[in-house]
Structures are given as C-alpha cells and as structure tokens.
Structure 1
Amino acid sequence: AGHMVPRVMRVLLLGDVATLPLRKVLAVVGTAEASSEHPLGVAVTKYCKEELGTETLGYCTDFQAVPGCGIGCKVSNVEGILAHSERPLSAPASHLNEAGSLPAEKDAVPQTFSVLIGNREWLRRNGLTISSDVSDAMTDHEMKGQTAILVAIDGVLCGMIAIAD
C-alpha cells in the first residue's frame, strides 16, 4: 500500500527536432526500454505506448544494461509505429497524399538506431558531452526527488526524461 508506480513527468527534447521529432524519440525510447526489467524502464515504455497510441513497438537487439548507470541497444523497425499510429489531426492535413500516408515515408529504408539511455555518468562513459543547460534541467528535477535520465540516439543527445517514483 502507498507504493507509487513510477511515472513520466516530463520529456524534454534536446536534439534537432526535424531529425528526431518527439514521436520518433518516443518510439525508439519505448522500444529500448521494453527490454528493461527496471521499474523506471517499464514506466517509460508504458508512457511511450500511451503517447503513441500503440501497443506495438520496434525491435531491440544488442541490449545491455549496466545497473545504476543505463542501457544501450540497437532499435529498428519503428517506422511502422510512426506510419500507423498518427492520431487524427484536428486541422485538415494538406501534406497527406490521397492514400493517407506521408509522402516518401512508406518507402523509407528501415533505420537502425543506436540508443543509449541513462544517467550523466553513463552518457559520459559513452563519449557524450552534457551541456550545463541539460545538466541544470536534470538537477531541477532531481531537486524535486525525480529521476532524470538522458537519451542519446546515434551518438546525439536528444532528450531528457524526468520520472517521479
């Protein structure tokens, strides 16, 4: 009784949103964390599925977890999620073609993303630089007793996820 289930409080996008829009980051992160046994990982995957409106995620290979640090893996096959789970847009979407899919998306070459998710130490160990802005944003959440984790996709720091537990 009184046990709080961890839940995602905030997702902060840090990278180039054109290359890695929120939905893509969520699809990749949700897939990566789906292999995690950790309660925080489970919370993140649940959040990603809810936000994307899907139960299906991509494929995760080469999964490794370092306790107290983070996880690393390769994620592929997220295109399907992004193509099919678009929520209906309230405004008429002029960029959709007749078939209702985004032009060129359906012919997109399946990408494999190299994913790292974890704390500052884990990302530094993997050669990523964490700017003071990002570190400050993490500290803000940590002061509130939340866990802030960083997400790097293909060697680029692209997000921070704050989780309350």
Structure 2
Amino acid sequence: MYGSDTNVSKMTDKHVILSEWVNPRKKRVYELEGELFTGQISAVQKPACCTENMLSSLKETMDSLREEMKIMMHTLKEMKDQQETRFGNFEKDMSDIKITICQLQKTNEVVDDSLDYLGKKCSKLENAIEEANNVIKIQENKIKDLSPKKMFTWKNIIRL
C-alpha cells in the first residue's frame, strides 16, 4: 500500500482493485474502472503481480526471521543451561562447603577431646614426675646422710 489522500484522476489498469477509506465513516470498494477516475482515496493497492512478489518476499522474510528466532531460541536455551549448570555447580560447591564445615567441626571436637585427655594425662605425668622427684630427693638425702658415715666407716676399715 502506498499513498495517502491521493486524488486518482486517471487509473486505467484493470487489475487494480481498491479497497480503502474514502471517508472515515464509510468504507468504499472501488471495483469498476469508471470509479477509479473520481474520488479521494487514502491508499492505492498495487496490481496482483506486484502483490504476489510482495507476498513471496514477505514469505522469504518471515522464513528468515523464523530461522533467526530458532537460532536465538537455541542460544537462549544454551545460556539457560549454562546458568543452570553454574547454579547447580554453585549449589554443589555450597553443599561441599557445608559438609567440609561439619567435618571440621567434628574434627575440632575430636581435637578438643584429645587435648582434654592429653591435658589430664600430662597432669597425671606431672604429678608422677613430682612424686618421683620427691622420692629421688628423699633417697638422695638418705644417701647423703649415710655416705659420710659409710665413708667414715670404710675409711676406718681401710685404715685398720
């Protein structure tokens, strides 16, 4: 369609059929050649052969657009899949992190328990060492007390 409020004075092509608004309230169909010589029309239709070419061109354009839409839909699907994969990987990573945190907490509890146990053992060892040191000191004191007497006794024995 082309033209707007065109005054058609001479149109003799019999293939032309107009179906346009002459006045906003009334639609008028121009079918006869005689009607084409008078009146104001808002648009002129092209002949049938041009319309076929336009339809063919329009069909090609639509086919091309369909192909582009298929490509775009495929691309969008790939992007969606990638996002889902990333989100899935993120969820898996978060799950792994939560598992690791739980394992670390359990390990920390075991370490705390082990440290408590070792602390108790160390305390017992310190007490045992202290007792042993006390026994050693007592024994050393006994030896010191006995040594001069024995030496004196042995000296006396040797001199004799």
Larger Rg: 2
Q: Relative contact order, CA 8 A, sep 6+: which one is greater?
A: 1
> TM-score scaled to structure 1, two decimals?
0.19
Q: Between Structure 1 and Structure 2, which shows a larger proportion of helix residues?
A: 2
> TM-score scaled to structure 2, two decimals?
0.19
Q: Between Structure 1 and Structure 2, which shows a larger proportion of strand residues?
A: 1
